A and B are shown apart, each in its own frame.
Chain A
């Protein structure tokens, strides 16, 4: 089954404790992206990747890191989480960003930073 898998689904952590949210897709998609969703603000793009070893900042990249060492995986790293990073996070992938192909989304990760 074609899918985007995010883990964990829920995460509670404390300020400053490094964490990684994993994302994997099994559709051989070139494009992957991370979003955060906050009430009233919709989805805001954090980082995206056009292909392996190619990543770029979205609209709200501060405080986040990503890597794309393999085509299927695109982890989101919070080196020193802060309470303002409490949010619902989504990973998404598509065949091509250039062609604006449809996105497939993961189930989301609800992160709480205390």
Chain B
């Protein structure tokens, strides 16, 4: 079964707006990872947050982790058209959900 479930399935915003997507999982984790996939290409690792961390930043990306709720969120600030992609979370066992499809309109 899938370990990470992303929400929403699809998100459409205007350039410059912030985009937030969420991930819920079921089992205990030692870390949670977020990946991006441009259409039909291999996934690219974005950021890893460990179970003892609550928040992590990387450029325009901000990830939070709430282990009590078994959930994580990925925030992309000041989005650009180039951020248009699918975003996936992965937890223990390197399993992925169906992803969030983000469209950023110029």
Query: Could you tell me if B33 and A102 are in contact, using CB atoms closer than 8 angstroms?
Result: yes
Closest to A110 in B: B40
Segment from B14-22, B59-67, B75-83, B96-104 that makes contact with A = B96-104
Judge whether B40 and A103 touch: CB under 8 Å. no
Asked if B58 is at the interface (CB within 8 A of a chain A CB), the reply is no
Q: Which among B30, B31, B44, B97 is the interface contact of A105 at CB below 8 angstroms?
A: B44
- Given A99-B30, A100-B30, A100-B31, A42-B41 contact (CB < 8 Å): no
Interface members, chain A 76-114 (any B CB < 8 Å): 88, 90, 92, 94, 97, 99-100, 102-108, 110
Q: Are A103's CB and B43's CB within 8 A?
A: yes
Q: Which of B1-60 contact A (CB under 8 A)?
A: 1-2, 29-31, 33, 35, 40-45, 48
Q: How far is the CA of A4 from the CA of B45 in the complex (A)?
A: 13
Q: How large is the interface on B (under 10, 10 to 19, 20 to 34, 35 or more residues)?
A: 20 to 34
CA separation between A90 and B94, bound complex, in Å? 13
Known contacts A42-B97, A42-B98, A42-B99: A104-B92 contact under CB 8 Å: no
Quick one: which of B31, B35, B40, B42 contacts A106, CB cutoff 8 A?
B42
Main secondary structure of the interface of A (DSSP, over half): strand
Contact at B94–A103, with CB atoms within 8 Å?
A: yes
State which of B2, B43, B91 has its C-beta within 8 Å of the C-beta of A90: B43
Q: Which of A43, A45, A48 has the most CB of B within 10 A?
A: A43
Closest CB in chain A relative to B40 CB, distance in Å: 7
Report which A residues bind B (CB closer than 8 A): 4, 31, 33, 35, 40-45, 48, 59, 88, 90, 92, 94, 97, 99-100, 102-108, 110
Across the A-B interface, give the 7 residue pairs with the lowest CB-CB distance, nearest first: A105-B42, A42-B98, A43-B96, A102-B45, A105-B43, A107-B42, A100-B31
